[in-house]
Amino acid sequence: MSRFQGVPEGLKLPADLDRVLEFHGHFCPGVLIGYRAARIGLARLGSARSADEELVAMVENDSCAVDAVQVLTGATFGKGNLIYHDFGKQVFTFALRPSGRAVRVALKAGALGGGEASREDKARMLLDQSDEELFKIEDTTIALPPAAQILKSLICASCGEPVMETRTREVNGRRLCLPCAGKEGNR
């Protein structure tokens, strides 16, 4: 019996999946999608887990899969090397700085048996199928955003909270954070 909620009885899990499940909190097909995608990305790029910002991960969803990407790749919002695009797709791009050499990993339509497959069947498919059966994998080169910068903070003239200078707007001659600027603009 696994110590993680949701692991089907008798399902053998890879050793490095424990760290992912510890972080995520439970076992599910979504976390396995990110686990498999991140392992593909690291292997194709010949990269280890990112200590700083040398590896960039771009995710096109905000599902359970992203937790696995964070744990395995070391990409985080805090370091500025985890980039989120709200496209609602199980697509992950992993790239190396400064070259921009990248691999795009996209879950194939029908790879998990469609809507009729049980949660347990999907988990087994995600652990047993080959990379090529599950994902469309493309080597590419992309333009990467600059490495994270520490920017000056200003005090919002409305709420008095510190805010990154680049996230302020001038409204009626006052420097405001985005939420306050939105409120002022609606008056």
How far is Cα 113 from Cα 104, in angstroms, rounded to an integer? 22
Portion of the chain with pLDDT greater than 70, in percent: 97
pTM for the full predicted model? 0.84
Residue 117 confidence class, pLDDT cut points 50, 70, 90: confident
What local confidence, expressed as pLDDT, does residue 185 receive?
Answer: 61
pLDDT digits (tens, 9 = 90+) for 12-30: 788 899 999 999 999 999 9
Residue 186 confidence class, pLDDT cut points 50, 70, 90: low
* pLDDT of 39 above 70: yes
pLDDT digits (tens, 9 = 90+) for 67-111: 999 999 999 998 999 999 999 999 999 999 999 999 999 999 999
Peptide bond into 14 cis (omega under 30): no
Each domain of the chain, given as residue ranges in start order, spans 17-141, 153-185
Size of the chain in residues = 187
What local confidence, expressed as pLDDT, does residue 187 receive?
Answer: 52
Residue 2 confidence class, pLDDT cut points 50, 70, 90: low
pLDDT digits (tens, 9 = 90+) for 162-185: 999 999 999 999 999 999 998 876
For domain 153-185, give the fold: Wheat Germ Agglutinin (Isolectin 2); domain 1 (3.30.60)
Buried b (16+ CB within 10 A) or exposed e, 27-40: bbbbbbbbbbbbbb
Rounded (5°) CA angle 99-102-103: 165
For domain 17-141, give the fold: 60s Ribosomal Protein L30; Chain: A; (3.30.1330)
* pLDDT of 148 above 80: no
Portion of the chain with pLDDT greater than 90, in percent: 73
